[in-house]
């Protein structure tokens, strides 16, 4: 077997691998790193339903609008970050909760203004 010179550390040796740094003789760096990241990306795909998104949507329909808004936003963040199903439910929950909170708020302000006018008019 002929004497090889390691292209990584310069050590001379006569086997297939450098005894000093372990680099394979005469072999270019492999693409295994690239392949393993592609495999990881495929494994990350998540098809689980997000419980918070569904709970947020259901609660928004039942009128628990502030709790529903919080759960839907947290659920949507989890889906954006980790994947999974239920993004439509999360967005619907946020919209329904926001609309009902706004409506409740508007009715409250309206009632307050009406009562002010009523008091001013001496009713």
Binding site for Zn ion (CB under 5 A): 6, 8-9, 11, 18, 20-21, 23
24, 32, 33, 40, 44 from 36: Cα distances, Å: 20, 6, 5, 6, 12
Shortest distance in whole angstroms from residue 33 CB to Zn ion = 19
Between residues 14 and 20, which has the closer beta carbon with respect to Zn ion?
20
Q: Minimum distance from CB of 8 to Zn ion (Å)?
A: 4
- Under a CB-based contact definition with an 8 Å cutoff, are residues 50 and 75 in contact? yes
Nearer to Zn ion, 24 or 77 (CB): 24
> Cβ closer to Zn ion: 20 or 103?
20
Q: Phi/psi of residue 12, each to 5°?
A: -95, 140
């Amino acid at each position: 077997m002929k004497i090889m010179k390691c292209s990584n550390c310069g050590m001379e040796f006569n086997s297939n691998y450098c005894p000093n740094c372990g680099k394979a003789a005469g072999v270019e760096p492999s693409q295994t790193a690239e392949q393993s990241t592609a495999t990881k990306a495929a494994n990350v795909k998540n098809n689980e339903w997000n419980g918070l998104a569904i709970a947020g949507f259901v609660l928004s329909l039942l009128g628990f609008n502030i709790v529903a808004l919080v759960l839907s936003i947290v659920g949507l963040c989890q889906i954006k970050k980790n994947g999974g199903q239920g993004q439509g439910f999360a967005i619907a929950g946020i919209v329904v909760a926001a609309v009902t909170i706004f409506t409740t708020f508007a009715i409250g302000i309206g009632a307050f203004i009406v009562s002010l006018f009523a008091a001013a008019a001496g009713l």
